[in-house]
Amino acid sequence: MADLEALAEAIIKGDQNTTVEITRTALNEGTAAESILNDGLIAGMGIIGERFKKNEVYIPEVLIAARAMKMAMEILEPELVKAGVEPVGKFLIGTAQGDLHDIGKNLVAMMLKGAGFEVIDLGVDIKPEKFVEQAKATGVQLIGMSALLTTTMPAMEKTIKALKDAGVSAKIMIGGAPVTQGYADKIGADGYSADAASAVDLAKSLVA
């Protein structure tokens, strides 16, 4: 049988070829797609997330692992759909209006995908109306917003107000270098996290 521990290890190392090879072998041998996802891919990304939190690995290693996971997911996704495997939750993400910095946002999006979330990435410089429109259209449970500049932080407050005024019930998470828990509380966000790995933990707790 395909070795799902080896698959997790390949993800941790960011070894795309081995990741793809084991994923294909496992499917061919009749291993359930959900098992490959949980015991191989998500297990590997989970370890990367923990190491990232402890500063044992850094952004480049996380990106390499996430790329390996993405390659495996391209093979696995059709099988997950066929098997009716639901994502952990649906997450809408974008940077606040006026902010063009997306490294943090991209990292959070990758780590969320690595934890089994369906992620809808709106990109950068997203107006409050766009968040509202997409939240309603997609029926997400979670919305994430990031800002790297103090000057774009007020756009987060405007967006949260717009979402609440529109009756959107999704939980809202914010993050970014100048953002704090205090600011999140002040503007009515449901959560704040300081880094991508903690954002995943927070997202899981908010959909639980």
* pLDDT (0 to 100) of residue 128: 98
Two structure tokens written together for 145: 């917003």
Q: What is the CATH number of the domain that holds 103?
A: 3.40.50.280
Q: Does one domain contain both 66 and 128?
A: no
Is there a contact between 48 and 11 (Cβ–Cβ < 8 Å)? yes
Q: Does one domain contain both 12 and 51?
A: yes
Q: What is the CATH number of the domain that holds 34?
A: 1.10.1240.10
* pLDDT (0 to 100) of residue 38: 94
| pLDDT single digits (tens) 49-99 | 999 999 999 989 999 999 999 999 999 999 999 999 999 999 999 999 999
Q: Does one domain contain both 193 and 160?
A: yes
Q: Does one domain contain both 161 and 120?
A: yes
Q: Does one domain contain both 196 and 114?
A: yes
* Percentage above 90 pLDDT, the chain: 96
> 153: pLDDT confidence band, cut at 50, 70 and 90?
very high
Q: Does one domain contain both 128 and 182?
A: yes
Is there a contact between 45 and 11 (Cβ–Cβ < 8 Å)? yes
Name the region of 193 (left: φ>0; alpha: ψ -120 to 50; beta: rest).
Answer: beta
Q: Does one domain contain both 126 and 144?
A: yes
Mean pLDDT of 120-129: 98
Q: Does one domain contain both 117 and 192?
A: yes
* pLDDT (0 to 100) of residue 35: 95
Mean pLDDT of 106-122: 94
Q: Does one domain contain both 103 and 192?
A: yes
Q: Does one domain contain both 166 and 70?
A: no
List all residues 6 or more positions away from 166 whose beta carbon is below 8 Å from its beta carbon: 132, 135, 136
Q: Is the pLDDT of residue 2 over 90?
A: no
Domain that holds residue 78: 4-82
Q: Domain tally for the chain?
A: 2
Mean pLDDT of the chain: 95
Mean pLDDT of 35-45: 95
Alpha helices by DSSP H, the chain: 4-13, 16-28, 33-35, 43-53, 59-82, 103-114, 128-138, 153-165, 181-187, 196-207
Q: Does one domain contain both 98 and 153?
A: yes
Q: Does one domain contain both 148 and 183?
A: yes
